[in-house]
């Protein structure tokens, strides 16, 4: 079975990332897609709460090796075609996974039998978040229109680009470029590297051929933005253009807004229903827009 892995991340907490994840997973399942949603928020798992799931097996059991694979801890969501892998709750320090632990988890995620695997990642730009984002087919960056959220989204995109280059240079075995990128990621102490072109200019002096191949590699990086809790179309347009402008100017990439999701008072009441809003109020603005997002991601 061909499968698509969609990762959802919120560079800042409180932007509605898990709300989007739960409702998108439910919508895709209602479109007759076989979906598994995996809660990979290793610092604050809560995806299960959107489905009223309590006292069940979870990622804890996999990490502690009580079960051999993720298929053993799939939980029924109460929605046809949708199963959940509930997140961790009782393992101190799990957010700082080793590379070996990450790869074990990634391998098991890819073994899951589904058309669409949706990953609800943690907020921020920790190594594990960026690693999980990179192995997905598509990555959605959820933000609001608040100034602080926009600052965080730009910082996340910049950090993830640098980490993508770091992985590339490691794969090429270029230790001097690896050290250069690691040093450059200390942004405050390297104000002279203001743009990605500044970075490439200095990297070229170290190893021009590998730097040029890295430039071609990173040119395909195209983050997909979802603006959440938008009040007006004009607000969405203004914020979208601002993000597009700043990422083009400083990072030389295209960063378009894939979808704008309206502020909807019903969302705040949906947790009381122990079910995603899209399952019982398909007429709401939020539900209609989530359906549009689902169709953009999976048009077939």
Domain that holds residue 104: 4-143+264-297
Separation of alpha carbons 159 and 251, rounded Å: 11
What domain count does the chain have? 2
Alpha-carbon dihedral 51, 54, 60, 61, rounded to 10 degrees: -110
Cα gap 80→266, rounded to integer Å = 23
CB 236 within 8 A of CB 118: no
Residues 184 and 47 both lie in one domain: no
Q: Do residues 139 and 14 both lie within one domain?
A: yes
Angle between helices 233-251 and 147-172 (to 10 degrees): 30
Per residue in 137-174, pLDDT (tens digit) is 999 999 999 999 999 999 999 999 999 999 999 999 99
pLDDT reported for residue 260: 97
Any idea what the CATH number is for the domain that residue 53 is in? 3.40.50.300
Tokens representing 139 are 């990555």
Give the lowest-confidence range in 244-253, 270-279, 287-296.
270-279
Under 8 Å between Cβ of 29 and 254: no
Does the pLDDT value for residue 296 go beyond 70? Answer: yes
90 pLDDT more than 80: no
Q: Which pLDDT tens digit goes with each residue over 28-81?
A: 999 999 999 999 998 889 999 999 998 789 999 999 999 999 999 999 999 999
Place of tokens 């998108």: 24
One domain, residues 153 and 195: yes
The confidence band for 290, taking pLDDT boundaries of 50, 70 and 90, is: very high
């Amino acid at each position: 079975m061909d499968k698509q892995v969609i990762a959802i991340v919120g560079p800042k907490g409180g932007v509605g990332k898990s709300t989007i994840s739960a409702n998108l997973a439910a919508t895709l399942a209602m479109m007759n897609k076989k979906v598994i949603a995996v809660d990979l928020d290793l610092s604050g798992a809560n995806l299960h709460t959107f489905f009223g799931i309590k006292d069940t097996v979870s990622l804890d059991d996999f990490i502690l090796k009580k079960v051999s694979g993720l298929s053993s801890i799939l939980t029924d969501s109460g929605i046809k075609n949708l199963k959940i892998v509930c997140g961790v709750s009782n393992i101190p320090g799990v957010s700082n996974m080793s590379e070996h632990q990450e790869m074990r988890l990634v391998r098991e995620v890819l073994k899951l039998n589904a058309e669409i695997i949706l990953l609800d990642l943690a907020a921020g730009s920790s190594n594990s978040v960026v690693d999980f984002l990179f192995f997905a087919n598509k990555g959605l960056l959820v933000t609001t229109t608040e100034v602080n959220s926009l600052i965080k989204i730009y910082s996340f995109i910049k950090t993830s680009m640098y980490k993508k280059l770091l992985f590339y240079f490691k794969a090429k075995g270029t230790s001097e470029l690896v050290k250069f990128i690691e040093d450059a990621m200390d942004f405050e102490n390297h104000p002279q590297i203001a743009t990605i072109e500044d970075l490439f200019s200095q990297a070229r002096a170290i190893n021009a051929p590998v730097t040029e191949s890295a430039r071609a590699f990173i040119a395909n990086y195209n983050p997909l933005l979802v603006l959440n809790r938008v009040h007006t179309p004009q607000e969405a347009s203004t914020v979208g253009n601002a993000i597009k402008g700043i990422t083009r100017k400083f990072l030389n990439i295209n960063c378009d807004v894939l979808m704008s999701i309206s502020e909807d008072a019903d969302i705040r009441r949906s947790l009381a229903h122990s079910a995603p809003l899209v399952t019982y109020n398909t007429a709401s603005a939020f539900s209609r827009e989530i359906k549009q997002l689902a169709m953009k991601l999976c048009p077939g």
